[in-house]
Structure 1
């Protein structure tokens, strides 16, 4: 800017950005930077993979009747995959729904949008939508060859288009099976829809009710002591109408409906929800003024009691940060039962609006009108962030390990997955799993807790990840314990799937628990490049040559340094772009540079030698050393070139 130019005023948006930037860097890095301790690729872990044919822009997962069987619904085909034999059977589903002799007719092109298990273990429920906005639902037995899709008698006449991204639930009982789904957008029918014996839907009315809504998840509250009080919760985001520059584009909300709702009488709210209430869903920290307003995904973990069911919600904000917040059904239930109604100043009716009753068609008119006009709560459902990071997460799944440890799985934009331990509101990123050897967009994730398997899908393949694969953490008890992986423990010989007899300290990662065990080998790994382990001959380096030493960095939570024999001062590493190796550059080889060089790591008080090199001066040759060491990568090559030029 020229000095003579008049100063311009700074917008509130810019000031807010500067404030957040100062806040971000003033806090301790551990508050916001959750770095995976190790990164695991197919070189470290065996990922079982099955290729998918066809054009799959979305995938829906279901666990099959056996542990090794997985159902995957793609664009128009159903895949039945067997990870024992690594085979897949592909079959079209809605072929019999075609009413035209022309294969190109929209009637023939039903895209699978819904996939659920039914109360019959040998039956699946599917829905597909064609280009004419028609939806067809049917039941099928996956053991049939070819698949035979039988039209649903109870769940039909679905006129609306069901998008594959819309959440849905199939809730069955001895008397009736009901199908719940949502409709996102801006039209009057946006909201929760129920199909089956008692059809209900949402119809927005009044001014200011045309905000766009996008639904993320449907959650059943779980059976209560009184089944009449069973509820369904819908989580969604709504586009804000606030025109100010620093306002958030989206806000997150949760709505409730009673499963026993029959709609209103013929004169008012007939075939519409009479129990629907909504409120804001807040994720953030008031003290630091750090807020996350856009709900991305969520996963529900059932509790022994319905009140203890936990909702793990993944959020994003406008500053490129992600966060995880946790809510209980009890938190949500309390707001809908006790909060004041926004915009309502008079007394609250009896029964209270939103209360579940046996026959909603007989509710007093003042209750129905209040639900229709003032259904939003003043109080919000709030939670502080469990995990905050600059990484963009897209999916979240949660597992309860050994009945006491919570482990989150968060998919990344590059196809990786973060494996995260949650303990007392704190997060520890155990590892980054990279199941694809290419940059992939993960379409779906499914967790099978009983077998400790995680399934992920790209448009090209399905991958099974064995969560109990533990060898990659290292060959020592300390390595295994420091991983803090609830799936893994030390059995006296190796890091393996955890049992009641294995050694682990998930809570603290205290390696001292290993101090009393007998060992068959030492904790230090000694490697002399170019010779066998323990050889006395060293590497001969020409006089005045530059030379570099290479050391793998196994844990990103450890500190690495180089030690030269006779020198008590440790030399820090030269890190590479990939940060998976620690380097030491010998600027000019001379007599004082001879001797043993050790690369030492230290993590939470556990120190060990990773590699050792013995350098000897070769007085007969001068120049740049050319001894072959493990190739350090392009970043290192550039670093060395720049160093030599200097």
Structure 2
């Protein structure tokens, strides 16, 4: 019997799903709070002032100005970080009525698509932000003056600065845009065209040439969903700085399973393209697959293919942050979510490894075994390995030709310890977002994960070492953060204020990172909760401090 007999394959999948689900049943949360219970606790604040708007998904935290900037449909908000309902500042920036009518004529939905959905808010300088919206399928961008100091209490859109947002923000509000401004240059992962078919990684607002990934080349990017972008230095040499893009995309091999791949791609900041064949096109773009999977007893891997969110945890070494990523399973039979953790050392190892190459009668992917041209494709000019190269324009034609044909690395990036940090199966939700906080208590540093779900809940989780090979996962709490459940789109954490800011289509909630009194009123209950934010102060379960008497996460 063929191993690809559909009945046999379905049985294998069902057996595998049952095994994973059985082995990864989540622990019971120490505390569970409904929306009303959370509200009654006094540890959460919900955006209460009324606006005729929806789709609060873009959050930019500004600790220096004590503000949280929020993008929604037709509005940009400036909220007080400590009290999101205290004297909010608003900018109403709708599309013109004429543009809305034109959008409707094109067959788009008046309410769900024909508005100015804010999709980009980036700091420009000490006094201004740069913002972009979909503009009722006609992207627009502008500058906002937010003042030099928090006391200025300024929040004004510079109407004279309004300009086209093409190449900076998607036309379709359902297509996410990721962006970063570095040295007054805007880097975006964006769909450029009205039809939503031309996706690219783009550099605009530059004194240099605008740059993009090669157009309509499915081997570069293929129908991607952009998730995150982050500048991560490679060395002490600034010329080696690279921008990393996280996204998921459709496989170019339609016969291949899975048909969705999660990716990490990168470009050099000082990439100027080349006159040979990549004019105004990245000459350093490379990408690799991000794998998050569970290996069964029989050696078969169950993959979580769809990247949902990424959180970059900075360390003392800015070249080596820790990367937390949330994935979901894409199959119709197997459903679940997982969190995987990646190291930059492993990522760089893959980008320094073999390139993927197609050869043979069946055009199978194999590691490229021929001569690699110098400088190695993907390296930056003027860096540690290319000190004599001032620009990618100086690269030999053979380097550019190789890069154009080999943008994919053969090896995949696997998580630390080759398995997920935590897995969820056999549950009625999936993870959609993540934020991570570092907590020091009783001489130990804890990584506390806040995980948003498509059901509008937030789980607070820690994973503790159990022995040399195993870990123990604790769900410290699970809370409903919106009155009407809605998928959580974005979360931002303020360790300084011990607050978590959560956004969905329906609103914004500011949530305290701990509710110690909810664990109980006696010493044992407090300590058994093992929450690193909490400790027994002699009378109550209270927020941990240096003078706390016992427990704090560890137990006794």
Normalising by the residue count of structure 1, what TM-score does the alignment of the two structures yield?
0.69
Please give the alpha-carbon distance, in whole angstroms, between the structure 2 residues aligned to 1:205 and 1:412. 34
Please give the alpha-carbon distance, in whole angstroms, between the structure 2 residues aligned to 1:146 and 1:219. 27
Contact 1:71/1:78, CA 8 A, preserved across alignment = yes
1:50 matches 2:47:
yes
Aligned with 1:20: secondary structure?
helix
1:34 matches 2:27:
yes
Please give the alpha-carbon distance, in whole angstroms, between the structure 1 residues aligned to 2:241 and 2:64. 31
Task: Give runs of aligned pairs for residues 503-522 of structure 1, distance below 5 A.
Answer: 503-505=549-551, 508-509=554-555, 513=556
1:492 alignment counterpart: 538
Q: Cα deviations across residues 458-502 of structure 1 (Å, max 9, x unaligned)?
A: 444322111133111111122111111121111111111111121
2:117 alignment counterpart: 111
Task: Give runs of aligned pairs for residues 115-194 of structure 1, distance below 5 A.
Answer: 115-120=121-126, 122-141=127-146, 147-149=156-158, 158-159=166-167, 161-162=169-170, 165-173=175-183, 177-184=184-191, 189-194=198-203
1:92 alignment counterpart: 91
Aligned with 1:366: secondary structure?
helix
1:398 matches 2:436:
yes
For the structure 1 residues 40 and 69, does the alpha-carbon distance in structure 2 shift closer, same or farther, using more than 3 Å as the test?
A: same
Aligned with 2:488: secondary structure?
coil
Please give the alpha-carbon distance, in whole angstroms, between the structure 2 residues aligned to 1:115 and 1:33. 36
Please give the alpha-carbon distance, in whole angstroms, between the structure 1 residues aligned to 2:165 and 2:75. 23
> Tell me, which stretches of 5 or more residues in structure 2 are unaligned?
105-113, 359-367, 383-390, 466-470
1:279 alignment counterpart: 288
Q: Cα deviations across residues 334-371 of structure 1 (Å, max 9, x unaligned)?
A: 21123344343311111100001131111000100010
Please give the alpha-carbon distance, in whole angstroms, between the structure 1 residues aligned to 2:355 and 2:408. 9
Please give the alpha-carbon distance, in whole angstroms, between the structure 1 residues aligned to 2:102 and 2:516. 52
2:373 alignment counterpart: 349
| 1:211 aligned to which of 222, 233, 240 | 222
For the structure 1 residues 298 and 159, does the alpha-carbon distance in structure 2 shift closer, same or farther, using more than 3 Å as the test?
A: closer
Aligned with 1:440: secondary structure?
coil
Please give the alpha-carbon distance, in whole angstroms, between the structure 1 residues aligned to 2:268 and 2:303. 30
Please give the alpha-carbon distance, in whole angstroms, between the structure 2 residues aligned to 1:221 and 1:273. 18
| 1:74 aligned to which of 56, 59, 72 | 72
Contact 1:139/1:152, CA 8 A, preserved across alignment = no
1:374 alignment counterpart: 406
Please give the alpha-carbon distance, in whole angstroms, between the structure 1 residues aligned to 2:215 and 2:487. 35
> Tell me, which stretches of 5 or more residues in structure 1 are unaligned?
1-8, 514-646
Please give the alpha-carbon distance, in whole angstroms, between the structure 2 residues aligned to 1:269 and 1:22. 49
Aligned with 1:228: secondary structure?
helix
1:240 alignment counterpart: 251
Please give the alpha-carbon distance, in whole angstroms, between the structure 1 residues aligned to 2:84 and 2:317. 39
For the structure 1 residues 32 and 306, does the alpha-carbon distance in structure 2 shift closer, same or farther, using more than 3 Å as the test?
A: farther
2:15 alignment counterpart: 19
Normalising by the residue count of structure 2, what TM-score does the alignment of the two structures yield?
0.80
| 1:474 aligned to which of 513, 517, 520 | 520
Please give the alpha-carbon distance, in whole angstroms, between the structure 2 residues aligned to 1:207 and 1:59. 29
Please give the alpha-carbon distance, in whole angstroms, between the structure 2 residues aligned to 1:294 and 1:85. 33
Q: Cα deviations across residues 48-81 of structure 1 (Å, max 9, x unaligned)?
A: 2222422212421123456864322211111223
Q: Cα deviations across residues 531-569 of structure 1 (Å, max 9, x unaligned)?
A: xxxxxxxxxxxxxxxxxxxxxxxxxxxxxxxxxxxxxxx
Aligned with 1:450: secondary structure?
coil
2:462 alignment counterpart: 421
Please give the alpha-carbon distance, in whole angstroms, between the structure 1 residues aligned to 2:21 and 2:292. 21
